[in-house]
Amino acid sequence: GKFLTRYLRPGERYKYWEHYCRGFARPCRDLLGSDVTPPHKRKIPPALARLATSGRRRVLIKITGWPRVGFLRELFPRAKFIHVYRDGRAVAASLLAVSFWRGWDGPPQWGFGPLDALQQAEWERHGSSFIALAGIQWKLLMAAMDDATRDVPATDLVHVRYEDFVDDPVNTFKNIVGFCELDWSTRFERSIRRQRLKTANDKWRGSLTADQQAILESVLAGDLRKYGYSTRR
């Protein structure tokens, strides 16, 4: 209702997760099912169950960074996962502009563990460029999601491209609502249609020099094509 939307804002709410699971917010690698402990199983499912109501029977959480799919599936076997992803060039450029990016400290202090030999060589090949490192981070996390969801059935996983959502939000949400086994409502549709969405994917070009753009394209070209994005390479 209006009270909830006025005082409660959507977000990752990592302090909540850290209360029940130390390390959930910033692990150095993806969290797996094997990382779940007996205290986690005793505390976390009941805590999230208390968030559901008769009118809101599905609890929706948002997390960023590592997928944590294996960890969450161990706790919630019936969970459904919505993977929202975006053009890696836009993601990498935005990382350089946010306060929480730790790439300035370099691997392994950046929070994603040490680079493997191929990643290290790629980073050094581009002069230890920070935009290259941000691109490597996007590739690393996309690969982690591929690994984490390899055995997740299609009934429990849907991939949503940011660009498709911006182009057609109503049908994108209809697919998501159906995937979540919820009922579509005309009131919800009207709310969606009132929003004016505009893609911010081209902002990365204005925030990077021509040389930086070339580095980023070089780092990401193969993976961009893999996930359906066009490149200049």
| All structural domains of the chain with their residue ranges | 1-79, 82-233
Whole-angstrom CA distances from 60 to 8, 12, 48, 119, 148 are: 14, 11, 10, 34, 19
pLDDT of residue 1: 57
Answer yes or no: are the C-beta atoms of 88 and 220 closer than 8 Å.
Answer: yes
pLDDT of residue 73: 98
**Model confidence at 201: pLDDT above 80:** no
What are the pLDDT digits (tens) for 2-46?
A: 666 666 677 889 999 999 999 999 999 999 999 999 999 999 999
Answer yes or no: are the C-beta atoms of 198 and 163 closer than 8 Å.
Answer: no
Strand runs (DSSP E) across the chain, as ranges?
Answer: 81-85, 157-161
Q: What is the pTM of this model?
A: 0.92
pLDDT of residue 35: 98
Helix axes 88-95, 210-226, angle to 10 degrees: 130
- Range 183-212 average pLDDT: 91
Answer yes or no: are the C-beta atoms of 66 and 30 closer than 8 Å.
Answer: yes
Number of Cα atoms under 13 Å in the Cβ half of residue 104: 8
pLDDT of residue 199: 81
Q: Which of 10-14, 110-114, 127-131 has the lowest mean pLDDT?
A: 10-14
Strands 157-161 and 81-85: parallel
pLDDT of residue 232: 79
- Range 193-198 average pLDDT: 89
Spatial distance between the Cα atoms of 180 and 156, rounded to a whole number of angstroms: 9
Residue whose C-alpha is closest to residue 186's, from 197, 203, 196, 174:
174
pLDDT of residue 167: 93
Name the DSSP letter for residue 142: H
Give the number of other Cβ atoms within 10 Å of residue 193's Cβ.
10
pLDDT band at residue 206 using 50, 70 and 90 as cut-offs: very high
Share of the chain above pLDDT 70, in %: 96
pLDDT mean across residues, the chain? 94
- Range 66-76 average pLDDT: 98
- Range 190-207 average pLDDT: 88
Helix axes 117-125, 130-148, angle to 10 degrees: 150
Cβ-proximal residues to 159 (8 Å cutoff; 6+ apart), any chain = 83, 85
pLDDT of residue 166: 94
- Range 64-81 average pLDDT: 98
